[in-house]
Amino acid sequence: MLGTVARKLRILGFDTAYMADTSDDEVLKLGIDQKRIIITADREFFKRIVAADGQGVLVSGTNELEDIVHIFSKLGIKSVQDKAIGSRCTACNTPLEKKSSTQIRGKVPVAVMESQTEFNECPKCGKVYWNGSHMLRIRVFVKKLEAQLAKNSEQ
Ligand SMILES: [Zn+2]
C-alpha cells in the first residue's frame, strides 16, 4: 500500500525497508530491533507501535506528497539534502556507486550512453541510474515538498 512512498523515500536518500508481505508482529519487532521508524496507514497497528514503545508515523496512504510532508513534519525534517537525492537504489535500498560510461557499457541503451556522462549502479541488484527525465520529475517533487514544508512551518 505504501510502496510508492517507500520508493520515493529511497530516491530522496532515506534508508527505507519496505515489507509488504510481512506480519505486523515481524514489522514491529524489526522496527524496534533496528531502531527504525515504522510508517503505516493502519491505525490499529500504529496504536500497537506506540504501546510497544516503538517509533511510528501514521499516514493516510492516499496521497504520496501529503504523506511524505506529514512524515517529515513528524520527524522534524525540514529539507531534502541535494546530494542524497538519487543516492540509493529504489528497488532494493542499497546505496549506489558512481560509475563511468565505460563501466556501464552494455547495461544501458546506446542513446543513454551517448547523452549521459554520469551513472550510478546498484552493487546489489545491478540496476543502473542516470540523470534522465525521471530525475527531473523528482526535482519537481522535491520543490513541491519543500514548498509545503516551508508553508507548514510558517503556520
Ligand atoms: Zn538495487
Give the pLDDT score at 32. 96
Distance 113 CA to ligand 1 centre (A): 20
Q: Which residues contact 65 (CB under 8 A, 6 or more apart)?
A: 141, 144, 145, 148
Distance 127 CA to ligand 1 centre (A): 6
* 23 C-beta neighbours (distance < 10 Å), count: 9
Which three cell numbers, joined as nine digits, stand for 100?
563511468
Distance 92 CA to ligand 1 centre (A): 4
What average pLDDT does the segment 107-127 reach?
94
Distance 150 CA to ligand 1 centre (A): 32
Q: Alpha carbon of 99 to those of 8, 57, 116: distances in Å?
A: 23, 36, 12
| Pairwise CA distance, residues 94 & 24, whole Å | 24
| Pairwise CA distance, residues 69 & 62, whole Å | 13
Distance 132 CA to ligand 1 centre (A): 18
Distance 63 CA to ligand 1 centre (A): 25
Q: Which pairs from 52-56 meet CB under 8 Å and 24+ separation? A: 52/28, 54/28, 55/31, 56/31
Give the pLDDT score at 48. 97
> Tell me: the pLDDT tens digits for 22-75?
999 999 999 999 999 999 999 999 999 999 999 999 999 999 999 999 999 999
CA 3 to chain centre: 9
Distance 53 CA to ligand 1 centre (A): 31
Distance 98 CA to ligand 1 centre (A): 13
Give the pLDDT score at 72. 96
Give the residue, 131 or 30, on which the prediction is more confident. 30
